[in-house]
Amino acid sequence: MMTGAGTEKPIGTLRVVLGDQVSPGIASLEDLDLRYDVVLMAEVMDECTYVPHHLKKIVLVLSAMRHFARALAARGVRVRYVTLDDPDNTGSLRGEVRRAIAALQPRRVVATEPGEYRVLQDMLGWAEGVEIRPDTRFLCSIAGFRRWAGGRTGLRMEFFYREMRRRTGLLMTPDNEPEGGRWNFDHENRKRLPDSVAVPEVAGFAPDAVTLEVIELVRRRFTNGFGALDGFRFPVTAKDARAGLEDFIAHRLPGFGDWQDAMHSGQPTLFHAVVSPALNIGLLDPIAVCRAVEAAYRSAHVALNAAEGFIRQIIGWREYVRGIYWLRMPEYGTLNALGATRALPEFYWSGRTDMACIRHVVRQTRRDAYAHHIQRLMVTGNFALLAGLHPDAVDEWYLSVYADAYQWVELPNTRGMALFADGGVLGSKPYAASGAYINRMSDYCRGCAYDVKDATGPKACPFNYLYWDFIARHAARFASNVRMSMPLRNWERMPADRRAAIRARAAEFLAAMEAGTGGGTCSTG
């Protein structure tokens, strides 16, 4: 399907735009010549199935692509848009680029670097001399990160973040000092949510005719897909994404700092922005997002700990994990420093588990294609770490189930931050925690079949004995890590019979989990 001004003219440049590149300023469109150039966008089965994506993620990407193509065509751009149902669709990006080249005979092909190593390898083979431009939507280029990393022994996010603050001037004083005299207000951002605090709802966007058509397409073509298709409310245009951001800044940003780490069974989004699905496909510009948040602080709408906490996630963590990904791929995707081998239990997909925390997070994930950071890190991620689940399986799960998942951001967060499979590139110690942490930061334990205060009895919380078992299993590795000295000491000081009981409970649980006969799998079906 060709849309836009006349299709009969000779073609200058074929400009390829991927599903997560729906930004008007994307590098491949920079020098677009309306007279001669054609933009290629293709819905392809390969990209819809390389992992079992949540159905809402497929809708998000395809609908945003269709809206973006229409907006380009309205500007007079010639767009070659291939739908998933096109009978000639080859099913792959490479196939569609080659088909377009054969049909249009362009003088050259231009693309923007993709978000996944897998796609970059493919892109290099699309056509002879394909020009791949840096993705300028990120504040730090891949080459810039490599320069920053070069010669450093440790690549801690905090130092990268400070440099990004200086470079952007965000939350800096005229003397180039951090606003408030400190770089980081994290220790003020760890409050449990009291029952009395009302959480504002996230603005949702009712599907328009284009999205409804895509929902029907996805319903028809992905019959056994993961997750609920009903209730799709993500923004699919830049205009709606900006409205979603404004809603966050007005209503939830004031509470973002204080309750950043809190979890609640009745409040899936709490004070989080829920901007990552739009941000990662290019409907929002990261620096514009941060400037809007900074303006909210400067106008005294929000406190510094909220603004700083949020901006750090975007110019710090988001840019940093992308830098690590491209610095260390492809070997980063194979790392397994802790030698984890277990298969992913079925309850990661179904939510059928007696562990209330995991049940809540998985069910929410199935319904919304969203979970906030602490749910991802300290519930499903923490369990995977403690239970020794294989990083490949865990990676595939995270890449599948969230609407914001692309490997550049998913992989370092999963393999590095959650699983410590990179041996400490991203974090100086594993984010391992017992049930006490989950109990402190959530209300999940109130409705759980297990007892969060118990580590050895028949109803003991699995996170408790799995935590100590994890410490014991990896004691030799962590002996030289000062940040692990306290749990190691506590483990060694425990009476021998208690240590034996804990390890026996853990072994029993893990064996039952692997056999599918228990180990957290729901006893009530």
| Residues binding ligand FAD (CB under 6 A) | 272-276, 279-280, 310, 313-314, 317-318, 321, 372-373, 376-377, 381, 398, 402, 404-405, 409-410, 413-414, 417-418
CA 286 centroid distance within chain: 15
Contact between 81 and ligand SF4 by CB under 6 A: the answer reads no
Instruction: CB nearer to ligand SF4: give 244 or 520.
Output: 520
Instruction: CB nearer to ligand DLZ: give 91 or 178.
Output: 91
Q: Which residues, 6 or more positions from 93, have their beta carbon under 8 angstroms from its beta carbon?
A: 16, 18, 42, 44, 46, 47, 119, 122, 123, 126
Which of ligand SF4, ligand FAD, ligand DLZ, none lies near 58, with the C-beta cut-off 5 to 8 A by kind? ligand DLZ
Only one of the segments 99-107, 198-206, 232-240, 446-454 lies at the binding site for ligand SF4 (rule: CB under 6 A); that segment is 446-454
Cα separation, 180 vs 167, in Å, equals 18
- Please list every residue from 316 through 355 that binds ligand SF4, using CB under 6 A: 355
Contact between 14 and ligand SF4 by CB under 6 A: the answer reads no
Instruction: CB nearer to ligand SF4: give 157 or 356.
Output: 356
Longest CA–CA separation in the chain, Å? 82
**Identity at 265, one-letter amino acid code:** S
Cα separation, 451 vs 226, in Å, equals 31
Which of ligand SF4, ligand FAD, ligand DLZ, none lies near 376, with the C-beta cut-off 5 to 8 A by kind? ligand FAD
**Would strands 78-82 and 2-3 be described as parallel, antiparallel, or unpaired?**
antiparallel
Taking alpha carbons only, the member of 379, 406, 388, 345 closest to residue 463 is: 379
Termini Cα distance of the chain = 48
Collapse the DSSP code of 443 into the 3-class scheme (helix H, G, I; strand E, B; otherwise coil) and give the result. Answer: coil
Instruction: CB nearer to ligand FAD: give 272 or 366.
Output: 272
The least distance separating ligand DLZ from the CB of residue 119, rounded to whole angstroms, comes to: 4
Instruction: CB nearer to ligand DLZ: give 58 or 171.
Output: 58
Contact between 297 and ligand SF4 by CB under 6 A: the answer reads no
Instruction: CB nearer to ligand FAD: give 80 or 272.
Output: 272
Contact between 357 and ligand SF4 by CB under 6 A: the answer reads yes
CA 515 centroid distance within chain: 30
Contacting residues toward ligand DLZ, per CB under 6 A: 18-20, 42-44, 47-48, 53, 58, 61, 93, 114-116, 119, 406
Q: DSSP class of residue 3?
A: E
Collapse the DSSP code of 13 into the 3-class scheme (helix H, G, I; strand E, B; otherwise coil) and give the result. Answer: strand
**From residue 460 to residue 479, what is the string marking binding to ligand SF4 with x (rule CB under 6 A)?**
-xxx----------------
The secondary structure of 208-240 as a DSSP string is -HHHHHHHHHHHHH-TT-BS--TT-----SHHH
Cis peptide upstream of residue 345 (ω within 30 degrees of 0): no
- Please list every residue from 229 through 258 that binds ligand SF4, using CB under 6 A: none
Residues that bind ligand SF4 (CB under 6 A): 355-357, 435, 438-439, 444-445, 448, 450, 452, 461-463
